[in-house]
Chains A and B, each alone.
Chain A
Amino acid sequence: MTADIAAILAIDGIATGAVYALVAIGTVLIFTVTRVIFIPFGDIAAFTALTLAALDARQLPGTVGLVVVLACMACVMELASLARAGELRAAPKAVLGYLVLPLLAVGIVWLVMRISPPMPIRIVLALLLILPIAPLLDRIVFRPIADASVLLLLTVSVALHFALVGLGLLFFGPEGVRTEPLTSLALDIGDVHVPGQTVLILTAALVFSGLLFLFFDFTLLGKALRATALNRTGARLMGIRPARAGTIAYLLGSLMAGVSGILIAPVNTIFYDSGFLLGLKAFVGAIIGGMISYPGAALGAFGVGILESFASFQSSTLKDVIVFSLLIPVLLWRSLASQHSEEEVEE
């Protein structure tokens, strides 16, 4: 391997890592606020890519059907639980949140699509369609078992992923898609050729993690989310509803996953089931960061991306084997490190 090839592989790895980083940050965000390890996150990213591809082809994306079905289910469940609690006064608000708002997103997409909007608008439309999915799934699947153990939540999360893959096949069909490149520009640093898409991916990752950081540090809502993650009882005593904090976490996380899906779609061919590997690799990155640290998760995700890039140069068939084998030493090191700190506490 020459230095040139190493540089190209490194740049490629950093770009892949940036995509994983967005999903990893979303995974950590949702885990800390709701205790759910949201495995279907990669699916959300893949669905965004498929949605954008359909919009590019001037077709109504399968996401529309998915959102309508989920919105109806969530609304019925919310009304049923309100009726059981004898709180039907809150029904209009529930209908607005779980039915009207998601359908409004669908309606906007349907209307705007008729005027054949340019690329940036199509991206916004794709994100708009993706955003309601995770919060609606949260209402349907996770809200009824919100107090369950992390293990049970994880099991349900895995099941939900398989359900989503099936729904993906139903709504999007088996064809793979690759969207138009967002830019054809390229950058030459010395002898190394950096594609514009790579620059774009890195910029987007930095911008969106930066925005998240600003949101956490400078808005009361962002602080409330952090507070819920740190101390659930304390947050409730401040009047912060964990369910509401969860919805916001799912919305923000979906935005991160959606952006990563849009960034990766021109580079890789995306199928209805492509999300799993993306989500799993981001999850490995998040685990390296201990599932609680955003910079840790981002660094871990970059590490995974770079390792994958070099591994695929050595042996493209074994690249996933190499990446996931990394998990074992990392988990060993993590468990040893955390034991060490517990001993220190006892002293």
Chain B
Amino acid sequence: MTGMLSIENVSVSYGKVEAVRNVSLSVEEGQIVTVIGPNGAGKTTLLMAAIGLLRSTGRMLFRGADLAKVDVEGRVERGLCLVPEKRELFSDMSVADNLLLGTYSLRDRSTTRKSLDDVFDRFPRLKERSKQAAGTLSGGERQMLALGRALMAKPKLLVLDEPSLGLAPLIVREIFRTIASLRSLGVSVLIVEQNARAALETADYGYVLETGEVIQSGPADTLIHDPKLIAAYLGGH
């Protein structure tokens, strides 16, 4: 099996506080992997380290190559794309321009037109609003735009930070349906989520992160039936 992303004994500190401690996880090609856990467990910190926005110790391999000396932009060029929790859209620019900027890291932009049509097929709402400023979109539309923009970059591994945060249940279902459909495109996905049930229903494999450490991992359909996890994360749903 070829590894897409493998994180080995990675730790991340803010000054003296270690937010992520000795975490190892891996994403195989074509797999959807989720990291669940409570607020403040270090999930976002782990992703920031994976994309290179935070310094970390330990080893990270992306498609077999060491990422230690690769900066954020270099990781994006290699096909590792992050959709951050805050979406980080260009709010004063139009929806179409936001999507076009997704292709910035590509060498070959001859397929831009087709990628744009694909994104508009997937999210017809974005097509309706393509000339509108991104800042005027609703929360769900903003998440669709962030996802669409990342897809324009033709990622090999898409990293999603809390894709369901602040969205209505109906939209959450739509977003996760889209994520599941990425499997057919051959895109691997790493999702960090508080909405553990939705994440585990979509994912192949899951990790549970608590206070910066992986306390449990396994196939998603095993985790979803684990009595301890049901009590801690899945009970309320």
- Chain A contacts to B: CB under 8 angstroms: 85-87, 220, 223-224, 226-227, 230-231, 233-241
B91 touches A87 (CB 8 A): no
Q: With contacts A220-B101, A224-B101, A224-B104 known, is A237 near B90, CB below 8 A?
A: no
B103 contacts across to A, CB distance below 8 A: 220
A238 touches B104 (CB 8 A): yes
Encode B117-158 as 1/0 by CB contact (under 8 A) with A.
Answer: 000000000000000000000000000000001000100000
Which residue of chain A is the closest to B92 with respect to CB atoms? Answer: A230
Kindly state whether residue B72 has any CB partner on chain A within 8 Å: yes
Kindly state whether residue B69 has any CB partner on chain A within 8 Å: yes
Encode B57-94 as 1/0 by CB contact (under 8 A) with A.
Answer: 00000000000010111001100011010001111110
B73 touches A226 (CB 8 A): no
Within the complex, the shortest CB–CB distance from B75 to chain A, in Å, comes to 9
B100 touches A237 (CB 8 A): no
Kindly state whether residue B51 has any CB partner on chain A within 8 Å: yes
Q: Looking at the complex, which one of B71, B81, B90, B100 makes contact with A220 (CB distance below 8 Å)?
A: B100
Interface of A is mostly: helix
Within the complex, the shortest CB–CB distance from A37 to chain B, in Å, comes to 21
A239 contacts across to B, CB distance below 8 A: 73, 76-77, 104-105, 153
Q: With contacts A87-B69, A220-B100 known, is A238 near B153, CB below 8 A?
A: yes
Q: With contacts A220-B103, A238-B102 known, is A233 near B69, CB below 8 A?
A: no
Which residue of chain B is the closest to A217 with respect to CB atoms? Answer: B97
Kindly state whether residue B215 has any CB partner on chain A within 8 Å: no
B93 touches A227 (CB 8 A): yes
A227 touches B101 (CB 8 A): yes
B72 touches A236 (CB 8 A): yes
- Chain B contacts to A: CB under 8 angstroms: 51, 53, 69, 71-73, 76-77, 81-82, 84, 88-93, 97, 100-105, 109, 149, 153
Q: Looking at the complex, which one of A230, A231, A233, A238 makes contact with B53 (CB distance below 8 Å)?
A: A233
A86 touches B69 (CB 8 A): yes
Q: Looking at the complex, which one of B91, B93, B104, B109 makes contact with A240 (CB distance below 8 Å)?
A: B104
Sample of 13 further A-B pairs with CB below 8 A, known A237-B72, A238-B76: A224-B101, A227-B101, A230-B93, A233-B53, A234-B88, A237-B51, A237-B76, A237-B81, A237-B82, A238-B149, A239-B73, A239-B77, A239-B104
B88 touches A237 (CB 8 A): yes
B71 contacts across to A, CB distance below 8 A: 241
Which residue of chain B is the closest to A86 with respect to CB atoms? Answer: B69
Within the complex, the shortest CB–CB distance from A231 to chain B, in Å, comes to 6
Within the complex, the shortest CB–CB distance from B109 to chain A, in Å, comes to 8
Q: Looking at the complex, which one of B92, B101, B109 makes contact with A238 (CB distance below 8 Å)?
A: B101
Within the complex, the shortest CB–CB distance from A152 to chain B, in Å, comes to 21
B81 contacts across to A, CB distance below 8 A: 237
A–B Cβ pairs within 8 angstroms, 7 of them: A220-B104, A223-B100, A226-B93, A230-B92, A231-B88, A238-B105, A241-B71
A85 contacts across to B, CB distance below 8 A: 69
Q: How far is the CA of A216 from the CA of B125 in the complex (A)?
A: 26
Within the complex, the shortest CB–CB distance from B170 to chain A, in Å, comes to 27
Which residue of chain B is the closest to A224 with respect to CB atoms? Answer: B104
Q: Looking at the complex, which one of B51, B77, B90, B153 makes contact with A234 (CB distance below 8 Å)?
A: B90
Which residue of chain A is the closest to B87 with respect to CB atoms? Answer: A234
Q: How far is the CA of A234 from the CA of B135 in the complex (A)?
A: 14
Q: How far is the CA of A306 from the CA of B172 in the complex (A)?
A: 57
B90 touches A227 (CB 8 A): yes
Which residue of chain B is the closest to A228 with respect to CB atoms? Answer: B90
Q: With contacts A85-B69, A236-B72, A239-B77 known, is A226 near B82, CB below 8 A?
A: no
